[in-house]
Amino acid sequence: MKRFRFHTAGESHGRGLLAYIEGVPAGLPLEMERDVDPDLTRRQGGYGRGRRMQIESDRAEVLAGVRLGETLGSPIALLVWNRDWENWTAAMGHLPPDEGTNPKALRSQYLPRPGHADLAGVLKYDRRDVRDILERASARETAARVACGAVAKRLLSEFGIQVGSHVVSIGSVDAVPSEGAIPEDLNAAVDANPVRCLDPVAADRMIAEIDAAKADGDTLGGVFEVVATGVPVGLGSHVSWDAKLDGRLAGAMMSIQAVKGVEIGLGFEGARRPGSQVHDPITRDDARVRSGGMVRESNRAGGLEGGITTGEPLLVRGAMKPIATLRKRLPSVDLRDGSAGDAAVERSDVCAVPAAAVVGEAMVALVLADAFLEKFGGDSMGEVRRNFEGYVAYLGGREFGGR
């Protein structure tokens, strides 16, 4: 059973987005301005975003579950209002349209975009107007996920676990991996960069490639990496398929709009190398209590072995395809009469990979919070802390020898 559950509701141009979270223990200090809104702002950024992000200024409001700055252990409900809603009241109202409404005001779309949920959605849900599908399929929904993820991050940070991300490629431009380790405060190191990339030379080329795609009416995808540090050995399990943490992380990452691939550690590259150049040699380091007093010379496994965290940083990559809305329209079929036509154009982004990285952080944090509470769960923060500290004490006191 999941310990940290969340759901979202809301359409891109509806009144707003709802985030609902269950499983947060009582007594977690939680304030929207301090803990949630900064991530909502980070998600709105990145070079290549469209005009919608200039309209919105995402903030979370608490509806339930938090009192006097601390969680109650009850379900948490948060709201993120859509500022753009006021421009969409006729098209997105919940009542049938008034008689005499200009049909244009309903902003219907009948030419599904290849690559979006438009066509599969209208066929499956028996709709005629593609807007009935695209409004929920839009990546606007990820604002609510990021709100949930920020709560998960707040919980994890109480135990020294930090989750950050960076962009490793956009279009044909790859960041050159830096010599040193990933910076301790990864987000502080990349957030000021317009494409959230650690390699400044590659970042400039990424920006140029986004500009070229925009001028060409095209869009670009890319790859981002989520890094979680401070994770103790022992989250997830090898014993059953659905307990394996790598599977749970991959599922969560693949659920992000436009993500078409996931890698953990070396990922696909590992399949090309012999085992001696893949697996991470084990040595001793008594100071590394969270990994059982042992350390790895490399971290090609990305912090997971057998579906269990090793105590090394967790490295999860997501590959995002280019956004499906192209000003250079692709062929489609008009659902009103079956004639050939060009796909609809909605206001959209040219590239949203830097934002997707922030969403990736949220999804990884949500999976980690669930696995953390599975191992250390309790009704209150005090109880979780006792469980966690007992485990860390066991790791620190473990001796060699015995059967």
Q: Which residues bind ligand EPS (CB under 6 A)?
A: 12, 50, 52, 84, 116, 138-140, 142-143, 323-325, 346-349
Determine contact, residues 105/90, Cβ cutoff 8 Å.
yes
How far apart are CB 350 and ligand EPS at their closest, in Å?
10
Whichever of 50 and 267 has its CB closer to ligand EPS, that residue is: 50
Q: How far is the CB of 203 from ligand EPS (least distance, A)?
A: 21
Q: How far is the CB of 348 from ligand EPS (least distance, A)?
A: 4
Q: Which is nearer to ligand EPS, 161 or 324 (CB)?
A: 324
Rounded to the nearest whole angstrom, what is the least distance from the CB of residue 130 to ligand EPS in the complex? 12
The CB-of-245 to ligand EPS minimum distance in angstroms stands at 27
Nearer to ligand EPS, 356 or 384 (CB): 356
The least distance separating ligand EPS from the CB of residue 43, rounded to whole angstroms, comes to: 7
Q: How far apart are the first and last CA of the chain?
A: 33
Taking the least distance from each CB to ligand EPS, the nearer of 266 and 326 is 326
Name the packing angle between helices 37-44 and 142-157 (round to 10°): 130
135 versus 225: smaller Cβ distance to ligand EPS: 135
Q: Which residue, 116 or 296, is less far from ligand EPS as judged by CB?
A: 116
SS3 annotation, 238-271? CCCHHHCHHHHHHHHHHCCCCEEEEEECCHHHHH
